[in-house]
Amino acid sequence: MDAQPVKSNAPSRELLEKIFRTAYKIRVFETEGIKLYRQGLVRGYFHPYLGQEGIATGVCAALREGDFIASTHRGHGHCIAWGADIRRMVAELLQKESGYCKGYGGSMHIADITKGNLGANGIVGAGTPLGVGAALANQIKGSDAVTVTFTTDGGSNNGTFLESLNLAAIWNLNFILVIENNGYAVSTRIEESTRDTDLYKRGLAIGVESHQVDGNDPLAVYRLTEEAAATCRAGKGPVLIEAKTYRHMGHHVNDPGKYMPEDRLAYYKARDPVDRARDALVQMSGIDAGEITAIEAEIQGEFEEAVDFAKSSRELTVAEFHEFVAQY
């Protein structure tokens, strides 16, 4: 007898396509963004999210409108997964007035509080208390919104990790802390910065429901986040998720990442989250190769259009800057 597919648990084509589109969009944004950086069009720092796409993609797909996120210094992926307009993102990288922060913030500070994005952060670990604060604000306002903070293995060694997660725990906040454990804090291997590299256990120590997941499997991340959000909305939050992943390159664009062993990099590249999102879509929805190609071309075109938009946007004038400064 043939096994019947379990329809209720099978992801819909719509969801699978959304996850692939998001992961692929992040991949294109980062790959093409690095090219813009190399051309000297993007200044400052650029911390690529390449290799970690599965986490932002899976997490954000499980959230709903009205929820909040707080990001890291490696924030483009979260921003895109949260539905940001990539035209305004590219414009911000190019320091243009049409950027999310009018060119005042740049790569590490893209935020959109009107959509519940509390922003990327130049201080490692700082998003955790800010996210807990948003969760507290929502609880006080009587909202069932969930706030997710993305932090890192580096951020988990910061004192506010424990301080604010503990506050979320004693107040049962709708808060999900996602640790993107990519194995490196800048160039320091996780084995050199902590004795127990299973970071989810830190949540267990203070009574927080905690899980570990393969961060390169966007569907697994999605499913776990969906459960965590439901736990929070049932008043049983917070939840900690440690998502294991790996960077595909150094800490930032100008870091060749020579300290990253090639075999380990190869291991993770063989488990590329974008490929896995594509494979899941193909295998579970029956989409044909032509449709996949069309989606990829569409996203590539969207990025190119964003670059044109950004390039044709103007920079703030010094006079406008002085007007803003006068308010300080």
Partner 1 sequence: MREIMYRDALREALDEEMARSSDVFIIGEGIAERGGSYKVTEGLLAKYGPGRVRDTPIAEAGMIGVGVGAAIAGARPVVEILYIDFAMLGMDMIVNQAAKFRLMTGGSGRVPFVMRTQGGTGGGVAAQHSQSLEALFYHIPGLKVVMPSVPADAKGLLKYALRQDDPVMFLEHKHLYMTKGLVPDGEHIVEFGKADIKRPGKDVTLIAWSNMIPRTLEAADELAKSGIEAEVIDPRTLVPLDKEAILKSVAKTNRAVIVQEAVRRGGVASDIASIIQEEAFYDLDAPIEIVAGLNIPIPFNLELEKASVPQKDDIVAAALRSLHAKPLALAAE
Q: How far is the CB of 68 from partner 1 (least distance, A)?
A: 6
* Candidate list 101, 249, 282, 287; residue touching partner 1; CB under 8 A: 101
- Does 154 bind partner 1 (CB under 8 A)? Our answer is no
* Candidate list 31, 32, 41, 166; residue touching partner 1; CB under 8 A: 166
Report yes or no: 69 and 148 within 8 Å, Cβ to Cβ: yes
Distance CA 145, CA 167 (A): 17
Distance CA 12, CA 56 (A): 19
* Candidate list 2, 9, 141, 262; residue touching partner 1; CB under 8 A: 141
| Cα–Cα separations (whole angstroms), residue 303 to 71, 182, 300, 312 | 22, 26, 5, 14
Beta-sheet pairing, 188-189 with 209-214: unpaired
Report yes or no: 149 and 127 within 8 Å, Cβ to Cβ: yes
- Does 324 bind partner 1 (CB under 8 A)? Our answer is yes
Whichever of 4 and 327 has its CB closer to partner 1, that residue is 327
Whichever of 122 and 257 has its CB closer to partner 1, that residue is 122
* Candidate list 48, 51, 58, 99; residue touching partner 1; CB under 8 A: 99
* Candidate list 31, 32, 105, 144; residue touching partner 1; CB under 8 A: 105
Q: Which stretch binds partner 1 (CB under 8 A): 11-19, 107-115, 177-185, 298-306?
A: 107-115
Report yes or no: 328 and 54 within 8 Å, Cβ to Cβ: no
Q: How far is the CB of 175 from partner 1 (least distance, A)?
A: 10
Q: Which residues of 12-27 are buried (b: 16+ CB within 10 A; e: fewer)?
A: eeebbbbbbbbbbbbb
Distance CA 19, CA 278 (A): 9
- Does 45 bind partner 1 (CB under 8 A)? Our answer is no
* Candidate list 77, 119, 203, 237; residue touching partner 1; CB under 8 A: 119
- Does 310 bind partner 1 (CB under 8 A)? Our answer is no
**H or E element in which residue 292 lies:** helix 289-312
Please say whether the dihedral angle defined by the alpha carbons of residues 22, 23, 24 and 30, taken in this order, is positive or negative: positive
Whichever of 103 and 154 has its CB closer to partner 1, that residue is 103
* Candidate list 159, 191, 263, 289; residue touching partner 1; CB under 8 A: 159
Report yes or no: 178 and 148 within 8 Å, Cβ to Cβ: yes
Which of these, 184, 68, 229, 211, lies nearest to 134 by C-alpha position?
A: 68
- Does 172 bind partner 1 (CB under 8 A)? Our answer is no
- Does 16 bind partner 1 (CB under 8 A)? Our answer is no
Q: How far is the CB of 246 from partner 1 (least distance, A)?
A: 28
Whichever of 109 and 211 has its CB closer to partner 1, that residue is 109
Q: Which residues of 196-217 are buried (b: 16+ CB within 10 A; e: fewer)?
A: eeebbebbeeeebbbbbbbbbb
Binding site for partner 1 (CB under 8 A): 68, 70, 99-105, 109, 111-114, 116, 118-119, 121-123, 126, 128-134, 136-141, 147, 159-160, 162-164, 166-167, 170-171, 324, 328
